[in-house]
Structure 1
């Protein structure tokens, strides 16, 4: 329960902030969020499971709300507050605007910082080795296939000089220019070679950054880093979940990012080639290791790598001779994720062999690390070896993950498994892929039931009037104590915008719909204002653009310029008093901020239904059907409803904005699911012809 002193602290912070915000007006929705977040984290709704899911649209002020509701609680309970986002743009907004302002004016004393993955930092020893000429040793690493070009060499020298002169802190994001991937891969920190317990590495930028974490009250991260920490058991990179309050902003991305993070893939031919290189490398590593503990591990590693390579060749031959049916994308998906027994038996052999290889290589790696610490092996000799063995350890981990899953029986979490034929200039290969269909159980076991508390927020978390779809995807279904909240927007939708659904003479499912759009769109565009037209596919957009340009329409088209350049030209035209027409696909419906005069006319060509064409989406639909469900109503419609809300959300960004939305899809009024979608949109003034 919230104590009186804590309530007073929150109210005072709120008052302090309000006094400093120009033109501040109390917002009932924001006040409600602050109270609900504080009560949730304070245990008012459940003693142990302190989680709330918040849908708060544009203008609600959710970042200020979760700072006011969660930070005083975290400070009082001596918990770390971790704010996780899906986009760099929101991270920058928090770090450069929201948190500095809050710290300066709230009256609360706290420290905050950005936390990045180790791959965003250099390893000083690898940098020194690269610029001193020892990069030739590193060129043997699996990730490097050719020497650096003259331009890449100059970049490497500039990085080293700037770091040594303390003009650069050693992280990729703060370097003003682009660092080529080949250069970065040579010098990036990795968990196997760059270890803090090794004296030569304890001053590397990553480890110095990690030392600061303990001193911070608020950490800003991305969802990928959150999942990386959970995979290591939680509390390895970040603070322990039980000592942490999490704010998951842009939470609608979390299930999909978790699914991608849990996937595994590997080629046959490519794997055989790097296993052969591993055999050569193991001898080189054995010659450097001094520790008696590593004696015999080299032979075990060779035996295991040879066994894995042998079975992989058998799999390659088996796939060459198989009668699997491949689609137009050269992909064969295993129905219900069930791998044939013949392949499953070989998968088990490969999983066992890679596990043995991983165990042996890890022991050699640890032994060499110990040798360096004991002074038995010089660091400059060990560092390139450890870097290379770290690469192989990562690859073996991924390989084992893939083949262990292929060898697993059908019980438990459903997986999508598929094979894609590759043709690299007639040297054919096969890519085998594995991806869990549902990841809610993972988040439930590793995050929701372990953390001190969590606030999940986004502008679009509900679908079709409820949170069921998101709750199932994110592992919150049937969890006790989870509070679901919708915050009222300060916008007066009926006064600020009109939603128009005109008569159309062609259905969106008709082949002639693209030609109809090219014919009808001019009636709904205003050459004197800022227009945004959103399409459901690139093909349809390009088709319409080609026809309209023949009629001399001036159009800015997504994909023809960078996103930044498109928006720059769009705003410049509006600033000059001219109109602008911007065409884009669904990816422009999220994160696009064109307030006021920069967007007054929004046209949505059709309901943004996703066609389940990827193996994962097909497997999801198949799984739901196998349980007696309807994948269209269970997945496709809720996803489309959320996307439609996002699309409509582009028009009004501030309380002073106004404009018109036109949707050229009559299914919103002719289909039962369409009417349900229409009801989930904000209460715009409606004109339905």
Structure 2
């Protein structure tokens, strides 16, 4: 329950922060969020399932709201607070701006830090080893296929010098310049080669960061790291879930990131080739290990790897002889995820064999690690072997995940499964892919049922007026303890913006719609102001750009330069009074912050419907149809409604902003689903022409 002492702490903290914020004024929606989060996490609504889902409109101040409520509550309950985001921009905002300010003025003490994945840190031992002249000319690990260039060698020396001189802390993101992937792959920390029990790795930045993490009260992470911890069972990278309150910010990304994280893929001939290389490598590794048990494990590995290769060759022959109807993208999807019996049988054998290979290699890897710790094998001899075996272990885990799924029958969770044909100069191959269609069950089992409490928040979580779509995607539907909350924005929408739906003589589904847009756009552009035009596809954007540039119109186009330089030029144009026209696609409709004069005129060419062309989207639609549903109404429309809200959300970023939104898609008033989408948008002043 929410104690009087905790209520007092939250009230005092709120007052302290308010006094230090310039122009701060109390917002009823923010106060509401603070109270609801605190009540949820203290169990006032449900004793065990302490979860709330919050849609907070732009300007609500949701990050301040969860700091004011979740942080004091976590400290009072002796829990860790983990804040997970989807974007680097929000992480940087929290770490560099909001949490330092909060810490300085809140009135109580807490420690916070940014937690990154292992791959973001340098391994000092690898960095030192990479400086060897021989290593720089060849390769210590199989991912480096060619020698480092002069520029890459210079970068490596600069990194080494900066780390030794304590001018660099050893994480990739804090290096001022770009570190080439080839250099970073050579020196990055990895879970198999860089282990804390080995003396040569005690001072690696990753392990120092993890030691520091245990002293923190608040950890800022990304969704990928959260999922990596859950995959390991929870509490292996981050604190134990049952000792943690989670704030999942930008929560609308979580289902899709989980789906990508749960997928698997592997080639056939490519796998056969690297399994053959593994046999040679394991012999070299066994010869280095002191324990005689390594010999037995090497025999097991060889037998299992040979079995896997034999079965993969049989699959290769089956696929070469199969008469699959590949589409124009050289992709064939198995309907309903059902794999032919001939492949299912082989999949079971390959799954079993790869699991045996994985177990044997893991035991050899662990044995060599112990030998180094005991001083029986020199670290400079073992480290290249441990790095290489780590790569093979990662590949084997992915391989086993794929074939285990292909061997599964009668599963509760539907999967998309497909084959992509790969054509090379002298040979061909097949890439087999697998991805679960629904991941709600995974999040429910691994996170929601294990955590001490969770707050999920975003500006767009509902669709068509309900949370149903998101709740199903994220595994929170039909859960009695979950509280769904909508917090209204403080914006005066009717006074700040007008939504204009002009009469159009061409339907967005017509072939001539792109020509219509090119002809109609100049009428709605304000050449002396800041304009943003959002398109549903790159093709349509490029078509319109070519037409408009014939009339010498100056346009900044997404893809023609980096996002940062594009926005810099756009703001420069506005600052110098020139006006600016910025063209972009759906990816510019989220996370783009152009307040005040930097965006006053927003034009959306059409409703951002996704075209179900990917195997995953096709499988989703097929699954919904098999259950008697309508995939357009249950998937496509809700997704498009959320994207349309995000697109319109680009215009007003502050309470002082003003502007106009024009949408050139009459389906918002002619179709029943369109009217539902229109009612989902904020209450702008409407101008609908007839």
Deviates more, 1:335-344 or 1:176-185: 176-185
Give the structure 1 partner of residue 22 of structure 2: 22
Runs (5+) with no aligned partner, structure 1: none
Aligned to 1:259, the other structure's residue is in SS state helix
Contact 2:440-2:476 at 8 Å conserved across structures: yes
Q: Which residue of 2 aligns with 1:550?
A: 550
Contact 2:136 2:148 in 1 (8 A): no
Q: How does 1:578-597 map to 2 (within 5 A)?
A: 578-597=578-597
**CA–CA distance in 1 between the matches of 2:184 and 2:422?**
28
Aligned to 1:341: 341
Deviation, structure 1 residue 498? 0.4
Instruction: Determine the C-alpha separation between the residues in 2 that align with 1:167 and 1:576.
Output: 39
Matched, 1:167 2:174: no
Q: Tell me how far 1:655 sits from its aligned partner.
A: 0.3
Q: Partner residue of 1:257? A: 257
Q: Which runs of 4+ in 1 moved over 6 A?
A: none
TM-score (norm 2): 0.99
Contact 1:131 1:156 survives alignment (8 Å): yes
Find the aligned partners of 2:143 and 2:251 in 1 and give their Cα distance. Answer: 33
Which residue of 1 is the match for residue 101 of structure 2?
101
2-structure distance, mates of 1:542, 1:30: 42
Q: Residues 138 and 388 of structure 1 are in contact (CA less than 8 Å); yes or no, is this contact kept in structure 2?
A: no
SS of 1:388's partner is helix
- 2:137 aligned with 1:157: no
Partner of 1:381: 381
Give the Å deviation of 1:273. Answer: 1.3
Question: 2-side partners of 1:419 and 1:413: how far apart?
Answer: 20
Q: CA deviation at 1:295?
A: 2.9
Contact 2:301 2:360 survives alignment (8 Å):
yes
Paired position in structure 2 for 1:91: 91
Partner residue in 1 for 2:367: 367
Q: Secondary structure at the match of 1:295?
A: helix
Q: Residues 462 and 469 of structure 1 are in contact (CA less than 8 Å); yes or no, is this contact kept in structure 2?
A: yes
- State the match for 1:457 in structure 2: 457
Task: Please report how far the alpha carbon of residue 134 of structure 1 lies from its aligned counterpart in structure 2 after TM superposition.
Answer: 5.7
Note if contact 1:338-1:410 (Cα within 8 Å) is conserved in structure 2.
no
Asked if 1:611 corresponds to 2:614, the answer is no
The equivalent of 2:665 in structure 1 is 665
Q: Provide the residue aligned with 2:111 in structure 1.
A: 111
**Are residues 138 and 2 of structure 1, via their aligned partners in 2, closer, same or farther at CA, if it must alter by over 3 Å?**
farther
Give the drift of 1:276.
1.1
Shift, 1:426, TM fit: 3.8
For residues 554 and 136 of structure 1, the distance between their equivalents in structure 2, rounded to whole angstroms, comes to 47
Per-residue CA deviations over 1:187-236 (Å, capped at 9, x if unaligned) read 11111111111122121110000001110000000000000000011001
Report the more deviating stretch, 312-321 or 43-52: 312-321
Number of equivalenced pairs: 689
Contact 1:137 1:384 survives alignment (8 Å): no
- Give me the whole-angstrom Cα distance separating, in 2, the residues matched to 1:518 and 1:184: 45
Partner of 2:637: 637
1:601: which partner in 2?
Answer: 601
Which whole-Å CA distance do the structure 1 matches of 2:66 and 2:411 have between them? 40
Aligned 8 A contact 2:415 2:436 in 1: yes
In structure 1, how many angstroms separate the alpha carbons of the residues matched to 2:346 and 2:504? 57
Deviates more, 1:590-599 or 1:422-431: 422-431
Structure 2 distance, partners of 1:604, 1:426, is 47
Alpha-carbon distance in structure 1 between the residues aligned to 2:52 and 2:139 = 50
CA distance in 2, matches of 1:224, 1:480: 28
Deviation of 1:140 after TM superposition, in Å, equals 5.5
Note if contact 1:138-1:186 (Cα within 8 Å) is conserved in structure 2.
no
Deviation at 1:162, TM superposition (A): 1.3
1:528 corresponds to: 528
Give the match for residue 686 of structure 1: 686
Contact map agreement 2:557 2:584 (CA 8 A) in 1: yes
The one-character-per-residue Cα deviations of 1:272-301 (angstroms, maximum 9, x if unpaired) are 111111011011101100013323111111
The CA deviation at 1:142 is 3.0
SS of the residue aligned with 1:477?
coil
DSSP 3-state at the match of 1:116: coil
Tell me how far apart the structure 2 counterparts of residues 280 and 550 of structure 1 sit (CA, whole Å).
62
User: What is the distance in 2 between the residues matched to 1:374 and 1:597?
Assistant: 66
Deviation at 1:135, TM superposition (A): 2.6
Deviations 1:417-465 (A, max 9, x none): 0000011224211111000000000000000010000000000000000
For residue 411 of structure 1, report the CA deviation from its aligned partner. 2.2
User: How far did 1:138 drift?
Assistant: 7.8
**Number of the residue aligned with 1:475:** 475
